[in-house]
Chains A and B, each alone.
Chain A
């Protein structure tokens, strides 16, 4: 039998919304997958030809770009950060909505005009995306790469601003920050490795098609 198709699923934010979507596509993971305390990283599904791995969101893109996993689900924030040439994102899954924004302390924002910036120091998980965004605006961004808890950076003087995901804005508010600029809107995407999409088209294209139909049915949009 051919190697099973590996679908990479991110831990955290998107995972909860992903499970009903998978079920609608006809892929039901084994029980251990939803068990947060399980140490396993690789899981079987009701379909012998499909296996799952559960990894960090940033690693989903890396696994799929290298072809170690053929399919994955990941936020468009991660795709924009890596800009991998070997990834396709054929379906917008319409889940995991949020936005990537620049935020700064409320007192700084009061007297601040973003149009006058020439250099900014930013704490972020997204150094490439941030540098690219500011460069396109003619602003040089000095990025401090953090892996979490960005909100605390301005308070402690690590950087004056942060670039992070915002959904309700309550985390920003709790840390005395205000959103000053939206860089991009984010939603979860189905991603596919480019070579696998060609060489295993007979297996992968129907799966992509199933995701596309499921999303279209859910949102009431005509299937493309």
Chain B
């Protein structure tokens, strides 16, 4: 059966005006805002050797990648589902000799193997920043500040930052609230889903108060400090308190100690970013470890934003003044009008219709007149 002209594969779409332009405008603004903090842009390729990509993506398995055999090298290549792993590769190889902390920025398309009902897009524009060589509280404050500024620059309002403790279960299981090793994964998944009933079924009720502790930051922090066993977390909680103090006047802060969603490879700190009127999260980040080829490890912290939900919410669109230039208009005059901020639509034939071409103004006697 032939494919209907225009039909695209599941999860892929064409962006038309004005969204296509909004997407490139938003990406540009965000990258510029990140760059002003000294994060230099790098641009890794769209596809890589599958082996290299999988090794660095601790959260993705080979079967989660869109793969194909490269006719040239006969090796399996994969399209990137995430750029951060590539930044880790660059930091660990080609830029390993550069001074630390290394500040890098990136932005470009990523492709996911599967779409879900909740996240139907397979192609997304990902952008972000990574700070390599430090994951201290000071590094976290700088990075979160850059993330918030990037969102503000993109026009996102009502920003909520949800702070999380990705290694909570490991830390507690190794200390005050022991768990059998074979049970750790199950407890982690249950806590991630805040599944109180499931936790009871796993005989891990000692972890129940951590589900109840999630919420607005100050309350959550108070409750969390009171949970038996939470002493083991006090250095993390002090770090969270310092981060909160830096941003409490600027954004709404919540604390969710058991969140694990997509923080599978994060260490002491994770955060998700939300905005008013945007469904689901628009970005996330946290601290993690980069592993070098010789087994050496390096601390890092970073964040990623997705441009697509911002475009879908109508951000990045600017009304344009489109000026119709009748045939015979002086090219120099037209150039000067573009210099003043006009978008010009030149008539190619006498019959061209200004209104049908989306113009708001027409040039009459050298002066723009509203249509």
Q: Which residues of A contact B (CB under 8 A)?
A: 65-67, 76, 79, 84-92, 185, 187, 189, 192, 194-195, 197-199, 201-202, 205, 209, 212, 224
Q: Which residues of B contact A (CB under 8 A)?
A: 118, 158, 160, 162, 193-198, 200-201, 208-209, 211-212, 214-216, 219, 252, 254, 256, 261, 272, 274, 276, 279-281
Pair B212/A201 contact, Cβ less than 8 Å: no
Q: List the B residue with the shortest CB-CB distance to A66.
A: B118
Pair B281/A65 contact, Cβ less than 8 Å: no
Tell me the minimal C-beta distance from A183 to chain B in angstroms: 13
Tell me the minimal C-beta distance from B277 to chain A in angstroms: 10
Pair B274/A198 contact, Cβ less than 8 Å: yes
Given A194-B261, A198-B160; A88-B274 close (CB under 8 Å): no
Pair B197/A195 contact, Cβ less than 8 Å: no
Pair B195/A85 contact, Cβ less than 8 Å: no
Instruction: Give Cα A85–Cα B259 distance, bound, in whole angstroms.
Output: 11
Pair A195/B256 contact, Cβ less than 8 Å: no
Q: In the complex, which residues of chain B have a beta carbon less than 8 angstroms from the beta carbon of A89? A: 193-198
Q: List the B residue with the shortest CB-CB distance to A223.
A: B212
9 A-B interface contacts by CB (under 8 A): A85-B118, A88-B193, A89-B195, A185-B201, A194-B280, A197-B214, A198-B162, A199-B252, A205-B219
Q: List the A residue with the shortest CB-CB distance to B207.
A: A224
Q: Which residue of A86, A189, A194, A202 has the most chain B CB atoms within 10 A of its CB atom?
A: A194
Tell me the minimal C-beta distance from A222 to chain B in angstroms: 10
Tell me the minimal C-beta distance from B128 to chain A in angstroms: 20
Q: List the A residue with the shortest CB-CB distance to B208.
A: A224
Given A67-B280, A224-B209, A224-B212; A198-B254 close (CB under 8 Å): yes
Pair A205/B197 contact, Cβ less than 8 Å: no
The 10 A-B pairs of least Cβ separation, nearest first, read: A92-B197, A88-B194, A205-B215, A90-B194, A198-B162, A224-B208, A89-B195, A199-B274, A199-B160, A224-B212
Pair A201/B280 contact, Cβ less than 8 Å: no
Q: List the A residue with the shortest CB-CB distance to B205.
A: A224
Q: Return the contact of B196 from the options A65, A85, A91, A209 (Cβ within 8 A).
A: A91
Given A187-B197, A189-B197, A195-B281; A201-B118 close (CB under 8 Å): no
Pair A90/B211 contact, Cβ less than 8 Å: yes
Tell me the minimal C-beta distance from A25 to chain B in angstroms: 16
19 more contacts with CB within 8 A, not counting A92-B196, A198-B254, A201-B160, are A76-B197, A76-B198, A79-B195, A84-B118, A89-B195, A90-B194, A90-B196, A92-B197, A195-B279, A195-B280, A195-B281, A198-B272, A199-B160, A199-B274, A199-B276, A201-B254, A205-B219, A209-B212, A224-B209
Tell me the minimal C-beta distance from A86 to chain B in angstroms: 6
Q: In the complex, which residues of chain A have a beta carbon less than 8 angstroms from the beta carbon of B274? A: 195, 198-199
Pair B197/A201 contact, Cβ less than 8 Å: no
Q: In the complex, which residues of chain B have a beta carbon less than 8 angstroms from the beta carbon of A92? A: 196-197, 200
Instruction: Give Cα A90–Cα B198 distance, bound, in whole angstroms.
Output: 10
Q: In the complex, which residues of chain B have a beta carbon less than 8 angstroms from the beta carbon of A86? A: 118, 280
